[in-house]
Structure 1
Amino acid sequence: MSWSLFLLRRLAALVPTLAALSVLVFGATELLPGDAVGAVAGPDATEAERAAVRERLGLDDDPVTRYLRWAGGAVRGDLGTAYTGGRAVHELIASRLPHSLLLAGLALAVTVPLSIALGLWAGSRAGRRADRAVSTGVLLVAGLPEFVTATALWWLLAGELGLLPRVSLVPLGGSPLDTPEILVLPALTLAATGVAVGTRLVRSASAEAVASPWIEAARLRGVGGARLAVRHVLPGALAPATQAFGLITGALVGGAIVVETVYGYPGIGLELQQAVAHRDIPLVQGIALVLCAATLATVLLADLAARALDPRRGSLR
């Protein structure tokens, strides 16, 4: 398959996938507990005031009409207006998403090299003691809920040792980079899960590559140790590992919801948690849709990178 056809087919698959996800997002917000009208009108509003709010928000329309109105606006870049504060949803997302992307980027910068190093080391020693030790360790970390990992790191690094701030507060009107120490705990928490999952995937791909005929041929030529792992095992494992890292990247942004809430970090995850708490449906829908689109874009880029790195193809054509 040519490079252009491969790209077109992937892009064509994204559109119906995102459309299906938008339906799921809209349907899920319809099931949120609570009353959006009550959240906007206030607890002391009269029935007449509640009716006026319901009409203004368009909640009297049937779900299909409301979905089509919302989806049509999203296609034009209009995600609606948040119930709380009255700001445009896209403006709120634009103000918080860079903070989460920065956090995910830092976590990924730790996740990728560590996952490759540990996975390659374990996969090259499949079945040995080193492989069992690494596999057991990452399995334990991967099995821990993120809030448990976050709490443990907070207790150790911020509580007992006092090395880092207890809360990741950004100065008013500033950037997280103004106080970079607030990024350490949330980034480490995200990276812990990312490294655990990434290591298992790289280890699996590396073990499969080690069992291939060309690795045996390299060994017969006297190649061994780090040279064998880096020059012969890694290229065969890199393509599937790249696709795995694409999924991990999307999971890092999604996982920030828990981590940002624990540390009070002002990213898109904390904004989503607060929007759900206040029954701010347009904001919940907008954030969820943007996260879905970002994840799909990440997976697409990972597929393209994996195709480029696949040694069986040699080069893109």
Structure 2
Amino acid sequence: MATYLTRQILQWIPVLFISSVLIFAVVRALPGDPADVIAGPDATPEVVEQIRSDYGLDRPLPEQYFSWLKHVAQGDFGQSYIYHRPNGELIFSRLPFSLLIAVTALLVAVAVGIPAGLAAGMNEGRLPDWLMSMGSALSIATPDFWFGIVMVIIFSVSLGWLPPGGFVSAFDSPWRFFLSLVLPSLTLALHGSAVLARFTRNAVIETLGEDYIRTARAKGLRRGRIVRWHVLRNSLIPIVTMMGILLGRMLGGAVVIETVFAWPGVGRLLVQSIINRDYGVVQGILVILVLFFLLLNLVVDILYGFVDPRIRVAQEKAK
């Protein structure tokens, strides 16, 4: 397993290098000049030029890229132009908030999507299947930001049950912390639960057609035991894959949700940094997100071995 993990991690190097080039190129292609933002609207051209020189923004782009890459490889993401703090410290101070709503949203999606997909798959062509299909289609077609605004109007403005946004620490008030987490997590879980329900349904239907399911039925095993030990267990590979994809998507998709609900995560920080042309923060966030996706894929690969022992044997043989 150690050899397998080492090989997988070594494969990250070219991916991270190519990603860093694309990230740097896209960020630097954004319109505007950070020197203008730093200097302010009343600054003279001489002051703006001096700021560009101080921050190295007047150097050729290849030179800026390799200088940035060298520091990133050493764990130094640079200094924020706007916040005047180390970029790494700034990003990692916001990352737990984004992970909090992403993991909570994934748990909600699993709690809703897997039972719904299982019920639909076990009742193919019947009412539960039709209801799940219509509900998932509607959920996938609904934009996150629109659903979030509707949730705020209903539960915050009209009913007054939940706060419209912001964050309250669990140390200050556990109940208010929970309430502040409800709306952004439910909104973020909307698409995830629908996609997970569809994948679970398809996996269950495919598993029900296997010979060992017919054999289990012929032996007279109870329906609940067949579902628990044969159908659901053998449907886990595509479900685990989708759960990994959804967690990454939720962390990346938190950009919109955090903006709608004023949530203090990396998504909101990314939007603010793009507006302020804070290149270092934007590049640092995107690099960390790429690294998170790679790490997530590795975790999913490892989970495959626990779900299906045959895959673990194949991984061992891959030495």
**2:182 aligns to what?**
184
Q: Following TM superposition, by how much is the alpha carbon of 1:15 offset from its aligned partner in structure 2, in angstroms?
A: 2.1
SS at 1:179 equivalent: helix
Deviations 1:51-76 (A, max 9, x none): 11111111222222111111111111
Asked if structure 1 preserves the Cα contact closer than 8 Å seen for 2:244 and 2:297, the reply is yes
Runs of 4+ in 1 over 6 A off after TM superposition: 173-178
**2:262 aligns to what?**
264
Change (3 A) 1:222 1:140: same
Write out aligned runs for 1:148-227 (5 A). Answer: 148-170=146-168, 179-227=177-225
Q: Following TM superposition, by how much is the alpha carbon of 1:224 offset from its aligned partner in structure 2, in angstroms?
A: 4.7
Whole-Å Cα distance in 2 between the matches of residues 126 and 218 of structure 1?
Answer: 19
Whole-Å Cα distance in 2 between the matches of residues 35 and 67 of structure 1?
Answer: 17
TM-score by structure 1 length? 0.92
Whole-Å Cα distance in 2 between the matches of residues 134 and 179 of structure 1?
Answer: 32
Question: Which of 72, 75, 97 is the aligned partner of 2:73?
Answer: 75
Whole-Å Cα distance in 2 between the matches of residues 60 and 174 of structure 1?
Answer: 46
**1:304 aligns to what?**
302
SS at 1:264 equivalent: coil
Question: Which of 257, 281, 284 is the aligned partner of 1:283?
Answer: 281
**Higher alpha-carbon deviation: 198-207 or 216-225:** 216-225
Asked if structure 2 preserves the Cα contact closer than 8 Å seen for 1:239 and 1:307, the reply is no
Residue identity in the other structure for 2:306: A
Q: Following TM superposition, by how much is the alpha carbon of 1:232 offset from its aligned partner in structure 2, in angstroms?
A: 0.7
Residue identity in the other structure for 2:21: V
Deviations 1:230-270 (A, max 9, x none): 11111111122111111101111111111010011111111
Asked if structure 2 preserves the Cα contact closer than 8 Å seen for 1:260 and 1:269, the reply is yes
Whole-Å Cα distance in 2 between the matches of residues 242 and 135 of structure 1?
Answer: 21
Whole-Å Cα distance in 1 between the matches of residues 31 and 24 of structure 2?
Answer: 14
Change (3 A) 1:87 1:34: same
Identity %: 37
Q: 5+ unaligned residues in a row in structure 1: which ranges? A: none
**2:100 aligns to what?**
102
**1:248 aligns to what?**
246
**2:64 aligns to what?**
66
SS at 2:11 equivalent: helix
Asked if structure 1 preserves the Cα contact closer than 8 Å seen for 2:305 and 2:312, the reply is no
Q: How many residue pairs align between the two structures?
A: 314
**2:136 aligns to what?**
138
Q: 5+ unaligned residues in a row in structure 2: which ranges? A: none
Deviations 1:37-93 (A, max 9, x none): 111121222221111111111122222211111111111111111110211101111
Two-structure CA RMSD over aligned residues (Å) = 2.1
**1:41 aligns to what?**
39
Residue identity in the other structure for 2:20: S
Asked if structure 2 preserves the Cα contact closer than 8 Å seen for 1:40 and 1:84, the reply is yes
Residue identity in the other structure for 2:244: G
Asked if structure 1 preserves the Cα contact closer than 8 Å seen for 2:304 and 2:312, the reply is no
